[in-house]
Structure 1
Amino acid sequence: MATRYFGQRIPRNEDPRLLTGQALFVDDVDLPGMLHVAFFRSPFAHALIKQIDVSAAQKMPGVVAIYTADSLGKYWQPGPLLVPPPPIDGITFNQRTQVPLARTKVRHTGEPIAAVVARSRYLAEDAAEQIWVEFDELPPVVELETALADNAPLVHEDLPTNLAAHVIQQKGHYPGIRNKAALVLQRKFVYDRGTAAALENRGIVAQWDARSQQMTVWDTTQAPIPIRNGLARMLGLSESQVQVIAPFIGGGFGPKIMMFYPEEMLIPWIALQLQQPVKWIEDRQENFFATTHERGQIHQAEIALSGDGKILGIKDVFLHDTGAYDPYGLTVPINSQCTLLSCYDVPNYYSEFKAVFTNKTPVTPYRGAGRQHGIFVMERLLDFAAKELGMDPVEIRKKNFIRPQDFPYDNRIIYQDFAPLVYDSGNYAPALDKAVEMIGYRDFKSREQPRARQQGRLLGIGVVAYVEGTGIGPYEGARVSVEASGKVNLVTGVGTQGQGHFTSFAQIVAEQLGVAVQDVRVVTGATRQFHWGTGTFASRGAVVAGNACHAAAVS
């Protein structure tokens, strides 16, 4: 079907503002009388807090207030569990979420202990350096493979071990087919931690207007509406009294979908206490230990195959490093467990994981959110199997693809959305054939690679197949209005972190209304403009919010 705008190469609506420095980012918010916050953070990964002395800091120039856990009263409480674990039989899950300020113990380097409010960030930083804390340093839990030992130090002393969760899912009977296999391969896979290091770090500005009884928060969040809802509940306000604005954001990548960071809970509360606008902007050092990390995992995996390369079964036992807290439940390791199966027919599957508390920054969903860990295990196993069996890596994959006639295909395990993992449709072999053709795979293997090796050059080529669930719910909305001038306003609740929403959403609406893309004004991430929705994450913006924009334009 021919389109006028949708899918066409056109100038982006947002670029003039971005290229001329007129786009609003959180740090651009500058309000009269604004105060600035710096945090005193733990220099230790694991320690008891014996005493906190802020008296010297309070005497520093420009200091307005200093808050510790004891200052917060009833506001001091653990953050919410954002995603409860799915109803898997026999599951163990120990919920431990972050607190606004550490009170008696720190569990990772950079955990905030005190907040200093001053007339400038420089003054706040100077004062924070004068805070004295007596620590009783404890041995840190660092290595996944020793964290569950009987003599390991405890991250959470109220638990008997450092086990955060234990989950087993299986289908078929892997032990029963293992001895019948022509080939059984075993491998260990280690997947390290990482951090996003977005161009723009996190930041929050909060302003309380006592006359209108309104709280306005500018936040580098991927989920402004859930943040609005949660802050209203925490602060004892109605949702209509809280406006959260997620302006232009210089990169999200997942850690900005983490909700109710300690700073996110504290800055609005401080603004309410002091009746003045308050700003905190994360510096790069803070970003490395205060913003959540991506997952570390260790997999002990094996694959059983027939002599002609057909998968008979897979066993995967892995450890997942959840860090000091687990506010996102089991989203990441469940994704690893389920996505490992990918687009292959695996009749027998045993998967067991243990999520482990460590004295590291908490782990939350990043791009892929654990899916690539499972895919990495499966694809490497297939590569090793192809080499052992003398098969081409492409052919072993095609042999094990789920056949078109077998859809809908029930993987017979529970996914992170609490439902069985069922694929509705698919035809994978033609897609792989097309990819192989486009990259010149056959020519490379038969001509270029042998020629390079004769010259002493080692050239390789890799092929990977992958299927994932995207466009997850529960919902998004949009509102379209047409002015008398012919200009169009489109408002949606999702935020934007560089995805081009101001253009892509405008294209969808312009296509339906027959107006120029430039005549569609798009507003995203402002809860007063649009008050219900979920957020921008998990490849869902175009699918869920985009369809809402389409429906609003049509109706």
Structure 2
Amino acid sequence: MTEQLARPKYVGGSVKRREDPRLLLGRGRYVADINRAGTVFMGVVRSPHAHARIVSVDTSRALADPRVLAVLTWEDIKDAAGPLPCIDRYTDSLPVLQTALADSVVRYVGEPVVALVATTEYAAEDALSLVDVEYEPLPAVVDLDEATAGATLLYPEHGTNVMTTISQDVGDVEAAFAAADRVYEETFTIHRYVPMPMETRGVVAEVDPITERLTLTTSTQFPHLVRGFLSGVLGMPESRIRVVAPDVGGGFGAKCEFYCEEVLAPLFALQLRRPVKWIEDRRVSMVASSHAREQKHTVRVAVQDDGTVTAVDAQSWTSNGAAYCTLATTPASISSAMLRGPYRIPHYRARAHCVVTNKTPLAVYRGAGHPQAVLVMERMMDTIAADLGRDRVELRLQNMITPAELPSDRGTAIVLAGQVVYDTGDYGACLTRAAEMIGLTPDWPAEQAALRADGKYVGIGVASLVEETSIGPYESAVVRVDGAGKVTVLTGSSPHGQGHVTTFSQLVADELEVDLEDITILYGDTDVVADGVGTFASRSAAIGGAAARKAAGVVKDKALAVAAHVLEIDVADLEWRNGAAYVRGVPAKSMSLGELASAATAWNAPLPGGMEFNLEATYQHQAGGIAFSDATHAAKVAVDVETGEVEVLDYVVVHDCGTVINPTIVDGQVHGGVAQGLGGTFMEELAYSADGQPLPVTLQDYIMPTVGDMPWIRTDHMESPTPLNPYGMKGAGEGGATGAPGALVNALQDALAVFGVNLTSDGPWTPDKVLALVPFAEESE
């Protein structure tokens, strides 16, 4: 083959997303699209009570309906299915686990009580009303303070509603407070809202009549973990279980859980030997899929007169809902471990309490504890700056960890992830750039005063953050090349919108120096990809992508060895360029990747000892620690004090996720996260009545942002490569959601500071709540 010019690198370029044309043309394949011959449909009777004793269950009327094929109650499954797993329980956590169906007590509205299967989806829905369940209502506990006090216990046998307390201790907090010039104390509330993916959950369970293997197709973020969970709950070997995640229409943490329906549908499939299908409607999604965010924080901060923050003492309470779910303690663990953010603060004490309440179980949601921590710390930084008469940016810069101080062992730990050791970053540079872009300069106070004199209440808020990303323990990849030189990549990362096909292709294409179009990415099927972990915690590029590129590197080394054998030359005399092995100094003498793959098959003469047939490699990339991304968000808002409407005039994110694979995809991740943060700050709330009834149960009641609500978001990228993987990549998926509430609430505080407000909640700052902050707006003008 003739020598070609060196091809440009793909990594770092805004390559168009390869997965989008198929999806935009309506060729996606979601769980709801799967229709097997003979499929029957599952329905679930759910508790209408937040807390009640089950007196009796009568399924006779349902079973008398000829369309109903089977019914399951707790009595039917108690010996067949164990409790659902919680993988982040602490050793001293109370054993408060969910079961696929309620046993004798229901503890939240929406808890599954009875499941049935009918011939059609409509028949299954109709038959739910034929199941008679008698309840004896019990007092419901929805308020965190009441739950902590323990007047009503969800699990009386444990004598408390506090499931676990997570402790973080660094330095000498008592001495630091004793020596402080000033002490600031505040209590912050973070309200409950929900991830709300576009695609609700769904499952199809079926049993192969020949092999007797169970296949579960489910809308999940981690099919390999689901296989393991299902194996444990049913007591069935993993070798008899296949889990498939087809196209997944968003997850955001709600699909980073193992749910009751993923047990019930397989039980029916094993019983009936017919495919069983269940698709969640939006109302069920709002009461049965995991909830998020709800916490309360009381913090004390020790400060010297020169603005140095010396200590933080924090107590937090997380409303975990009725039981532990798959990832129950992670939000509390992360918020307690990461509350200090990018700031030095040498002395730190945190106690994070996970509390059961009569609400839907709470789990991870994009950011998973980071947004709460950032809101609390960034509000306190603004409070301190205002009290000291200091510039907000200068005070932050004074207390920020500098690049010269990294790596920095923070002395805290995150469940499942390990010790918090900040690796790389320039936090001050991100803050300075964001402040410059948004216009938070020394001239801003004068500009703001002029606007107020004109009746315009405009504020700027910033929030700086450091977030845990790229957690392990590992991710797997297989790279193989066929005789046409085409590359297939199998990855244990299972995408739900992040752009894996594009970014993984960029990484492998650069390693092998081939075209993106020559690469196929396969995922989401435990029979195709034998091993994997999944997609969550901003881990896919840094862990899964690193594994794919490493595997490609091994393939390249194998290809060079094959070329040396075929060309009868020493491998040191070869170089790899443009997807081919070239003899150094002899450009015309080379072998392409396809030729090398063909030469390495078992159809050819045996290869020398120690050389493997086929250009294929498997690689498991293990995380060497947590990689920490960082960012500063800056928002400018205008408040109409007559209507309470808040308009976001400008929004800036300066983000550092290490080596950037695809700037456009990172921007998209940031923008999507900001949208969720904006929704939570100004619109979204999963509120409960005093007796534990969720108040919004449809999208008519639960308000979410639309395109028309979104500001134009300006982003800037900084790159501080991490040494924890060979390519310097960190995670980018959650930083947008992590910083938005803090920046937006600080901006609202700045806009309304003239009224003496002190915002101690993340909202939602709906117009009526904003109006309540400025009752004397007209007189003040």
TM category, shorter: over 0.9
CA contact under 8 A between 1:247 and 1:495: conserved in structure 2? no
**3-state SS of 1:476 partner:** strand
- Corresponding residue of 1:77: 82
SS in 1 for 2:460: coil
Please say if 1:266 is aligned against 2:264: yes
Larger radius of gyration: 2
Q: Do the aligned partners of 1:198 and 1:252 also contact (CA within 8 Å) in 2? A: yes
- Please name the residue that 1:134 is paired with: 134
Aligned equivalent of 1:304: 302
Where 1:200 maps in the other structure, the secondary structure is coil
For residues 89-114 of structure 1, give each alpha carbon's deviation from its aligned partner in whole angstroms, at most 9, with x where no partner exists: xxx42121110101211011000011
Going from structure 1 to structure 2, the CA distance change for 1:93 and 1:236 (only over 3 Å counts) comes to closer
Deviation of 1:200 (Å) = 0.3
Alpha-carbon displacement from aligned partner over 1:326-382 (angstroms, at most 9, x marks no partner): 232421111010110111111221212221110110111111111111111111101
CA contact (8 A) 1:33 1:276 kept: yes
Q: Is the 8 A contact 2:52 2:107 kept in 1?
A: yes
The answer to whether the 8 A contact 2:486-2:519 is kept is yes
Task: From 305, 321, 343, give the equivalent of 1:323.
Answer: 321
Root-mean-square deviation (Å): 1.8
**Alpha-carbon distance in structure 2 between the residues aligned to 1:417 and 1:272:** 33
Amino acid at match of 1:127: A
Q: Sequence identity of aligned pairs in percent? A: 39
- Partners in 2 of 1:406 and 1:5 — Cα distance? 33
**Equivalent-residue separation in structure 2 for 1:546 and 1:450 (angstroms):** 50
Question: Which shows bigger deviation, 20-29 or 171-180?
Answer: 171-180
The Cα shift of 1:530 comes to: 0.9
Partner of 2:668: none
Distance in 2 of aligned mates of 1:18 and 1:444: 48
Distance 2:131 2:498 in 1: 42
Amino acid at match of 2:143: E
| Displacement of 1:432 | 1.9
How many residues get paired? 548
Structure 2 residue 9 is the aligned partner of structure 1 residue 4? yes
Query: In structure 2, how many angstroms separate the alpha carbons of the residues matched to 1:247 and 1:405?
Result: 45
Deviation at 1:444, TM superposition (A): 6.2
1:180-199 matched pairs, under 5 angstroms? 180-199=179-198
Give the Cα separation in 2 of the matches to 1:124 and 1:444: 65
Q: CA deviation at 1:69?
A: 0.9
Aligned counterpart, 2:616: none
1:191-219 deviation per Cα after TM superposition (whole angstroms, max 9, x unaligned): 01111111100000011012122211111
What SS does structure 2 have at the residue aligned with 1:442? coil
For the residues of structure 2 that align with 1:222 and 1:6, how far apart are their CA atoms?
Answer: 25
Offset at 1:406? Answer: 2.8
Q: Distance in 1 between matches of 2:403 and 2:511?
A: 34
Query: For residue 428 of structure 1, what is the aligned residue in structure 2?
Result: 427
Q: Could you report, residue by residue, the CA deviation over 1:2-52 in whole angstroms, capped at 9, with x for unpaired residues? A: 943223233322122111211110111100000100111000000000100
The 8 Å contact of residues 83 and 99 in structure 2, kept in 1 or not, is answered as: yes
Q: TM-score, normalised by structure 1?
A: 0.95
The alignment partner of 2:316 has SS state of: strand
- Report 1:323-472 matches (<5 A): 323-327=321-325, 328-417=327-416, 419-442=418-441, 445=444, 448-472=447-471
Give the structure 2 partner of residue 289 of structure 1.
287
Question: Could you tell me how far 1:513 is from its partner in structure 2?
Answer: 2.2
- Work out the CA distance in 2 between the residues paired with 1:520 and 1:539: 23
Match of 1:95 in 2: 95
| One-letter identity of the residue aligned with 1:104 | S
- The CA deviation string for residues 122-171 of structure 1, in whole angstroms up to 9 with x for no partner, is 00010111111110000101110111325x22111221121111233222
| 1:172 CA drift (Å) | 2.3
Q: How does 1:166-205 map to 2 (within 5 A)?
A: 166-205=165-204
* 1:242-288 superposed Cα distances (whole Å, 9 cap, x missing partner): 111111111100010112x1111111121011101000111111101
SS in 1 for 2:536: coil
The structure-2 alpha-carbon separation of the partners of 1:424 and 1:73, relative to structure 1 and needing over 3 Å to count, comes to closer
User: Residues 168 and 349 of structure 2 are in contact (CA less than 8 Å); yes or no, is this contact kept in structure 1?
Assistant: yes
Q: Equivalent residue for 1:15?
A: 20
Query: Does 155-164 or 481-490 show the bigger shift?
Result: 481-490
Runs of 4+ in structure 1 off by over 4 angstroms are: none
Question: More displaced, 517-526 or 284-293?
Answer: 517-526
Q: Return the alpha-carbon distance in structure 1 between the equivalents of residues 343 and 298 of structure 2.
A: 20
In structure 2, what is the Cα distance between the partners aligned to 1:265 and 1:27?
18
In structure 1, the residue corresponding to 2:148 is in which secondary structure?
coil
> Which residue of structure 1 lines up, in the alignment, with residue 51 of structure 2?
46
The letter of the residue matching 1:147 is: A
The answer to whether the 8 A contact 2:341-2:466 is kept is yes
| Whole-angstrom CA distance in 2 between matches of 1:507 and 1:165 | 43
User: Which residue of the partner structure matches residue 244 of structure 1?
Assistant: 243
Distance (whole Å) between structure 1 residues aligned to residue 419 and residue 436 of structure 2:
35
Change beyond 3 A, Cα 1:320–1:520: same
Whole-angstrom CA distance in 1 between matches of 2:232 and 2:351: 37
Code of the aligned partner of 2:273: Q
Question: Quick one: which amino acid aligns to residue 302 of structure 1?
Answer: R
- Show the counterpart of 2:566: none
Alignment of 1:199-218 (within 5 A): 199-218=198-217
CA distance in 2, matches of 1:167, 1:511: 44
The answer as to whether partners of 1:302 and 1:381 remain within 8 angstroms in 2 is no
SS at match of 2:467: coil
Q: Is the alpha carbon distance of 1:403 and 1:21 closer, same or farther for their aligned partners in structure 2, counting shifts above 3 Å?
A: closer
Q: Secondary structure at the match of 2:323?
A: coil
Corresponding residue for 1:536?
535
Match of 2:503 in 1: 504
Identify if the C-alpha distance between structure 1 residues 405 and 7 changes in structure 2 by more than 3 Å, giving closer, same or farther.
closer
What's the offset of the Cα at 1:418? 6.4
Segment of structure 1 superposing worse, 241-250 or 425-434: 425-434
Q: For the residues of structure 2 that align with 1:275 and 1:56, how far apart are their CA atoms?
A: 24
Cα 1:20–1:444 shift into 2, 3 Å: farther
What amino acid maps onto 2:71 in structure 1? I
Q: AA paired with 1:292? A: S
1:3/1:77 Cα in 2 relative to 1: closer, same or farther (>3 Å)? same
Q: Offset at 1:241?
A: 2.2
Report matched runs for 1:222-233 at 5 Å: 222-233=221-232
Residue 227 of structure 1 aligns to a residue whose secondary structure is: helix
Q: Are the counterparts in 1 of residues 253 and 366 from structure 2 also a CA contact under 8 Å?
A: yes
Give secondary structure in 2 for the equivalent of 1:429: helix
- Relative to structure 1, the CA distance from residue 422 to residue 8 in structure 2 (aligned partners, 3 Å threshold; closer, same or farther) is closer
Asked if the contact 1:94–1:165 (Cα under 8 Å) also holds between the matched residues in 2, the reply is yes
User: Retained in 1: the 8 A contact 2:82–2:233?
Assistant: no
Q: Which amino acid aligns with 1:309?
A: G
Q: Structure 1 236/159 Cα, relative in aligned 2: closer, same or farther at 3 Å?
A: closer
1:286 to 1:444, Cα distance in 2 relative to 1, 3 A: farther
User: Are the equivalent residues in 2 in contact too, given 1:81–1:95 (CA < 8 A)?
Assistant: no
- Kindly provide the CA deviation profile for residues 201-238 of structure 1, in whole angstroms up to 9, marking residues without a partner as x: 00000110121222111110101001112223433433
Contact 2:221 2:495 in 1 (8 A): yes
Partner-residue secondary structure (3-state), 1:462: strand
| Conserved 8 A contact 2:88-2:415 | no
**Structure 1 residues 14 and 286, CA, compared in 2 at 3 Å: closer, same or farther?**
same
1:449 Cα deviation from its structure 2 partner: 2.5
Question: Which runs of 5 or more structure 1 residues have no equivalent in the other structure?
Answer: none
3-state SS of paired residue (2:203): strand
Equivalent in the alignment of 1:278: 276
In structure 1, distance between residues paired with 2:399 and 2:58:
64
